[in-house]
Amino acid sequence: MTAKQTPREAAAAEVEAHRAVVARWEAEEAAATAELKSLQERAGEEVLADESAAVRLSKSMAELRDRIDIASRAVAAATPRLEAAARAVVLAEADEVDAEQARAQARLDGFDARQQELLTALEEFSGLPWMVDRGDEPGSSVVIVSNAGGPREIAQSPRESLWRAVESAKRKAWALREIADGRDPHNELAVPFEGKRFEGIINGPDPREFYGSSTWGPEAVLPAPAYLRAMDAGMADEPVVGPTVAARA
């Protein structure tokens, strides 16, 4: 990792390097396979034309089979390294989301603290009991004041958007780590949590809000099972580009 690279960028560079190795040996295997097939197809005619060609053909075929075997073994050896690098990208993105969650939590905590300061000041100023009514929604916050006329709504606070940012980041980081560990988080993502339903898991405007770019979209290095299903169903507009490690379902 260079001084200017983030851990995720460094891991992505490793993915590209391992992809190149896998692609190189896959190409070698394909070329040797095609050459062997061609040689086998014309071997009979060549031997009939010149019986001494049998030794040469046998040697050439054996060499091609060895090339195929070596290339296949190289692909098999390189693939786990590619998979490990891909998981490292996903986990690095999860770490980035953890940092986003921490910043969102700090904003939410700051809002709550400031709100409480203002409520205390209002209570001291007015002599009336101000409070925060969370209501039925965990992210909501409605400030009310009790007076002679009964509870009266004063203002709807923006706390819900701050709360949603925290919970979204928390859920996204969790989903990324589930995929990195070979599990499919879709069912858990699709159900309500804390009274909130996050829509758009498949058909929403941008599923990266739930899955991250390393597991959903053309830059995915470890495609989420839900993304692969969406592609199969023709619901994903952006196919994965290049050799990619498929997440285990």
Residue 189 covered by a domain: no
Residue 38 covered by a domain: yes
The answer to whether residues 107 and 162 touch, using CB atoms and an 8 Å cutoff, is: yes
pLDDT above 60: residue 5: yes
pLDDT of residue 248: 40
Position with higher pLDDT, 167 vs 206 = 167
Residue 177 covered by a domain: no
Residue 218 covered by a domain: no
217's tokens: 């979209």
DSSP string, 42-102: HHHHHHHH-TTHHHHHHHHHHHHHHHHHHHHHHHHHHHHHHHHHHHHHHHHHHHHHHHHHH
pLDDT of residue 120: 86
- What's the pTM value of the predicted model, to 2 decimals? 0.73
pLDDT of residue 89: 96
Residue 156 covered by a domain: no
pLDDT digits (tens, 9 = 90+) for 214-238: 998 888 999 998 888 888 877 665 5
Give the integer Cα–Cα distance in Å for 198 and 191.
8
Q: What's the domain range around 61?
A: 7-88
pLDDT digits (tens, 9 = 90+) for 115-142: 888 888 888 887 777 766 665 555 556 5
Residue 104 covered by a domain: no
pLDDT of residue 214: 92
pLDDT digits (tens, 9 = 90+) for 49-96: 999 999 999 999 999 999 999 999 999 999 999 999 999 999 999 999
Residue 11 covered by a domain: yes
Number of domains in the chain: 1
